[in-house]
């Protein structure tokens, strides 16, 4: 009996559970970043993103891609920069293209920027993605891992999983309802 209680106490989230958790965290933080950026640039609140809720999934997907790509790649900042620059430029291009095909809208347009490709990506943001990859893998994600681990150690595993999957379910419902709003038949 004591042995089973000890196992329950020290059971950890699976890699899949953690990736879903980080997807949710970074999707929310991306929305916060986008919102503050819009306030700074435009001087007022602008609803950012595709979904009804305070989530920008592109940041969550980006973070999960970063986590998977850089797992175990320590140091090598030039390599991280180049990989991030290339992978996220391709990711941003594909996301823009898919969103436009499915919803007939563009959520960003770099047509006025130098060295852009179809207004979907541009050199200046590709450089930003490269820098973001280095900052994310060296500072932001290690910090978030430590903080989330500290919090998770205080919460029973069943509550952790229930919270993650409840929030993921809400996100899926939001995605479906938001998609209905944007699909043109």
Q: Are 168 and 20 in contact (CB under 8 A)?
A: yes
Q: How many CB atoms lie within 10 A of CB 91?
A: 17
All residues at 6 or more sequence positions from 8 whose CB lies less than 8 Å from its CB, including other chains: 156, 157
Provide the pLDDT confidence category of residue 9 given band limits of 50, 70 and 90: low
Contact between residue 54 and residue 31 where contact means Cβ atoms under 8 Å apart: yes
Q: Does the pLDDT value for residue 6 go beyond 50?
A: no
Q: What is the pLDDT of residues 85-131, one digit of tens each?
A: 999 999 999 999 998 998 888 888 999 999 999 999 999 999 999 99
Determine the pLDDT at residue 184. 64
At residue 11, the 3 state secondary structure works out as coil
Domain boundaries, the chain: 2-168
- Distance linking the first and last C-alpha atoms of the chain: 59
Residue found by looking up tokens 């940041």 in the block: 59
Q: Per-residue pLDDT tens for 135-168?
A: 999 999 999 999 999 999 999 999 999 999 999 9
Structure tokens at 125: 């943001």
High-pLDDT (> 90) share of the chain, %: 71
Residue 182 has pLDDT above 50, yes or no: yes
The answer to whether residue 42 scores a pLDDT higher than 90 is no
Is the CA virtual torsion 160, 163, 167, 172 positive or negative?
positive
């Amino acid at each position: 009996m004591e042995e089973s209680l000890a196992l329950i106490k020290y059971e950890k989230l699976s890699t899949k559970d953690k990736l879903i958790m980080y997807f949710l965290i970074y999707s929310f933080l991306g929305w916060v970043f986008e919102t503050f950026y819009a306030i700074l640039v435009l001087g007022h609140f602008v609803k950012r993103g595709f979904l009804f809720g305070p989530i920008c999934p592109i940041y969550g997907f980006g973070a999960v891609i970063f986590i998977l790509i850089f797992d175990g790649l320590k140091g090598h900042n030039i390599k991280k920069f180049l990989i991030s620059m290339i992978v996220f430029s391709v990711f941003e291009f594909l996301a823009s293209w898919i969103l436009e095909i499915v919803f007939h809208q563009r959520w960003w347009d770099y047509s006025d920027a130098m060295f852009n490709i179809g207004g979907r990506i541009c050199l200046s943001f590709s450089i930003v993605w490269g820098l973001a990859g280095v900052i994310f893998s060296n500072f932001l994600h290690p910090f978030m891992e430590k903080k989330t681990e500290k919090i998770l150690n205080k919460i029973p595993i069943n509550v952790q999983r229930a919270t993650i999957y409840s929030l993921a379910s809400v996100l899926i419902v939001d995605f479906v309802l938001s998609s209905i709003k944007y699909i043109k038949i």
